[in-house]
Chain A
Amino acid sequence: MNAVEWIRLLVGSVFLVIGMVIFFTELFGVFHFKYVLNRMHAAAMGDTLGISSCLIGLMIFSGLNFTTLKMFLIIVFLWFASPVSSHVLSRLEAATNEHLSKHCEIYEDVEVLERELIERRNAESKEESAIAKEKEGSLS
């Protein structure tokens, strides 16, 4: 075994261990959070980051051949599929839960949310301008 193979083994196992750590974090998050929409956040991490670092480790092990290409294809597919499945799952939760307002804020209409955000931003900018004026006053 020459130096290049040792380096390959080392880098590949580092990637695999990173993937395992991410999977463990995912499991911890799924058991730690109390509600589905929070749990989904932890679970979607392993779908993309965990599996991609594991497969990058295996790609480094296997070298440059068709297996590597297929593994890369799996990563690319999951990058597209995981957000879509998370979206569909959250729509399922929002459509079937009758007590959703216990867990999070609900806006019936998008326009209400937009208006509230604009009001909040205006209030913030007013505060900021007031603070800036005070600073100017203290400086001069």
Chain B
Amino acid sequence: MEKEALYHPLFIALLILLSIMLLICLIRAVKGPRVADRLVAVNMMGTMVMVMISILASLLKEGYLVDICLIYAMISFLAVVVISKVYIGIYEEQHHSPENGEGGTTDERG
């Protein structure tokens, strides 16, 4: 019983700290001037959410939440890779069209 009383406040404090950090990460994702900035911030947010899910699994003593964490890791990795590839493809399509070297190559940021 007293063991619970020790672990519970620790986990709650860590969850609060992590959620504050998550909000700061979100600020970076909104501000980031380039696409890669935003993707880096989203990657960081994914990592923090993984830690939060694992802490919740320990707090609630529900082992299956760690499975969800594992799947979250895989999906966030896949999302970063796929979005990067798609964005590279779109960029090359826009900027290396057959009549390249004309005024069409504007400086698009983000």
A positions within 8 Å CB-CB of B: 1, 5, 9, 13, 16, 19-20, 23-24, 26-27, 30-31, 36, 39-40, 43, 46-47, 50-51, 54-55, 58, 61-62, 65-67, 70-71, 73-74, 77-78, 81, 84-85, 88-93, 95-99
Partner of A92, one of B36, B41, B44, B63: B36
Partner of B70, one of A13, A54, A74: A74
In the complex, chain B residues 70-110 whose Cβ is within 8 Å of any chain A Cβ? 70, 73-74, 77, 80-81, 84-85, 87-88, 91-92, 105, 107
Partner of A30, one of B28, B80, B105: B28
Q: Which 7 A-B pairs have CB atoms at the shortest separation, nearest pair first?
A: A81-B77, A92-B84, A70-B66, A93-B36, A36-B36, A67-B63, A85-B80
Nearest chain B residue, comparing its CB with the CB of A70: B66
Partner of A46, one of B17, B44, B77: B44
Q: Which residues of A contact B91 (CB under 8 A)?
A: 95-96
The answer to whether A51 touches B47, judged by C-beta atoms less than 8 angstroms apart, is yes
Do most interface residues of chain A lie in helix, strand or loop, or is the interface mixed? helix
Rounded to whole angstroms, the CA-CA distance of A19 and B17 in the bound complex is 12
Rounded to whole angstroms, the CA-CA distance of A114 and B108 in the bound complex is 33
Rounded to whole angstroms, the CA-CA distance of A20 and B77 in the bound complex is 22
The answer to whether B39 touches A89, judged by C-beta atoms less than 8 angstroms apart, is yes
Q: Which residues of A contact B44 (CB under 8 A)?
A: 26-27, 30, 43, 46-47
The answer to whether A74 touches B40, judged by C-beta atoms less than 8 angstroms apart, is no
| CB of B12 within 8 Å of the partner chain | no
The answer to whether B54 touches A71, judged by C-beta atoms less than 8 angstroms apart, is yes
The answer to whether A89 touches B80, judged by C-beta atoms less than 8 angstroms apart, is yes
The answer to whether A58 touches B55, judged by C-beta atoms less than 8 angstroms apart, is yes
Q: Which residues of A contact B105 (CB under 8 A)?
A: 98
The answer to whether A71 touches B36, judged by C-beta atoms less than 8 angstroms apart, is no
19 contacts between A and B (CB under 8 A): A9-B7, A23-B18, A23-B21, A27-B21, A36-B36, A39-B40, A43-B43, A50-B47, A54-B51, A55-B51, A67-B66, A70-B66, A77-B70, A81-B74, A85-B80, A89-B36, A89-B40, A93-B34, A93-B36
